Structure 1
Amino acid sequence: MFQPVDHQKTAAAVVEQIEDLILKGVLQSGDKLPAERDLAEQLAVSRPVLRDALKILEDRKLIEARRGGEPSSRT
């Protein structure tokens, strides 16, 4: 489902990939994303880069972060 990201594209590429999965319906409202460590590994990015991408997605209201849990799709 997730593809490794070219490190030169960083957070923008992660945002684009997750956004695309949401728009295609692969990730639907209420779906939980993998744990941060697992998702960063699947995307082949650092956890800080992943956090930046998740923040952008949250600002765009595409995901909703929950305290003590993983972000979930909000479409």
Structure 2
Amino acid sequence: MAIPAAKPVHEPDALLTERALAIRWKMSVRSLQRWRSSGTGPAWMRIGGCIRYRLEDILSFEQSCRVTEATA
């Protein structure tokens, strides 16, 4: 029986580790951990003791943070 390959990161239901997300956003893993403990930041899940982020949730969070016009 063949083992399914891991989904490429560009698929919406792909999962990212906290390290992969920290690299994507050029921030520290500790900042993501702080966001989780304070209840801010993107949705996340715990799978087998490991923290994972769905790419779909990351893209949605990024869109919600987007600023398109300056505020006065």
TM-score, normalising length: structure 1: 0.37
Larger radius of gyration: 2
| Greater helix proportion | 1
Q: TM-score, normalised by structure 2?
A: 0.38
